[in-house]
Amino acid sequence: MPGAAQAGPPLVAVVAETAMGPAGVALSPLGIRHATLFHRTREAALAELRAFGAEPADDPRAPEITRLLQEYAAGQPVSLDHYPVDLPPGGGFQRRVWLALREIPRGETRSYGWMARRLDQPGAARAVGAAAGANPIPLWLPCHRLVAGDGSLHGFGGGLAMKQALLELEGALPRRLV
C-alpha cells in the first residue's frame, strides 16, 4: 500500500514490536494516516512508513499505539477501530467504505455485498472490494473482516494467510489445526 508522501505537517512513524512481528503507523496531528500490517523486521515496517513520508520522532501517542498493537497481536480483546484516523484524500465512496469498516465488530465478518447494501449501493460489492483493497489504515479500519458472500476469504493486501491469521486471532474463524 505504499504511496506518495502527503503534504502538510510531517508524519511521525511509530513501530511496535509485537508477537506477530513489527507493525506501525504514520501519525499526523489528527490521528493515524497510514498503517502497516505485521512485518518480519522493524526495518521493513519502518521502510513502509517512510514510503508515506513518515519518520521516527518523539510523539506522546507512541506508548498507547505500541500498547494497542502489542495487546492486539497477543490476542487480547483490544479494539483498534476506535482510535482517531486522519484519512488521506480519496473518493467519497472509498472513504465511506473505509469508515464503515469500523462497524464490523471484532470476532465477526461481513460480506462485500453486506457492505454495499449498508452503504445504499446494492450491487457494488466489487467496488467495496476495490475500496477495501486501497485501505491505507489496515487493522485500525478492519478490512480483513470483509469476506465473500459464501464466507470464503478473498483479496487482502497482506495476503490471504495474513487475513486468515487476523480473523483467527479475533475469533472470527476457527483456529487451524496443525
8 — pLDDT class (breaks 50, 70, 90): low
Per-residue pLDDT tens for 93-137?
Answer: 999 999 999 999 999 999 999 999 999 999 999 999 999 999 999
Backbone torsions φ then ψ of 115, nearest 5 degrees: -65, -40
- pLDDT number for residue 157: 83
Residue of 80, 54, 82 lying closest to 66 (CA atoms): 80
- pLDDT number for residue 174: 61
Per-residue pLDDT tens for 26-39?
Answer: 999 999 999 999 99
Active-site annotation holds for 143? yes
- pLDDT number for residue 7: 59
91 — pLDDT class (breaks 50, 70, 90): confident
Helix (H, G, I), strand (E, B) or coil at 45: helix
**Calpha distance 76→143 (Å, rounded):** 19
Residue 82, pLDDT above cutoff 90:
no
Residue 154, pLDDT above cutoff 50:
yes
Q: Which of 64-68, 133-137, 155-159 has the lowest mean pLDDT?
A: 155-159
Residue 26 in contact with residue 52, Cβ under 8 Å? yes
- pLDDT number for residue 150: 83
56, β-bridge pairs: 13
Which CATH code, of 1.10.287.470, 3.90.1150.10, 1.10.10.10, 3.30.930.10, is assigned to 92-169?
1.10.10.10
- pLDDT number for residue 2: 46
Question: Residue 176, CB half-sphere, CA atoms under 13 Å: how many?
Answer: 8
Over residues 39-59, the mean pLDDT reads: 96
Over residues 38-47, the mean pLDDT reads: 97
- pLDDT number for residue 119: 97
Residue 128 in contact with residue 146, Cβ under 8 Å? yes
Residue 21 in contact with residue 14, Cβ under 8 Å? no
Over residues 82-101, the mean pLDDT reads: 92
What's the mean pLDDT when you consider all of the chain?
A: 91
Catalytic residue among 141, 143, 166, 167: 143
Which single residue is written with the C-alpha cell 475500496? Answer: 131
Residue 3, pLDDT above cutoff 60:
no
Listed in sequence order, the residues at least 6 apart from 147 whose beta carbon sits closer than 8 Å to its beta carbon are 109, 110, 111, 112, 153, 154
Helix (H, G, I), strand (E, B) or coil at 172: coil
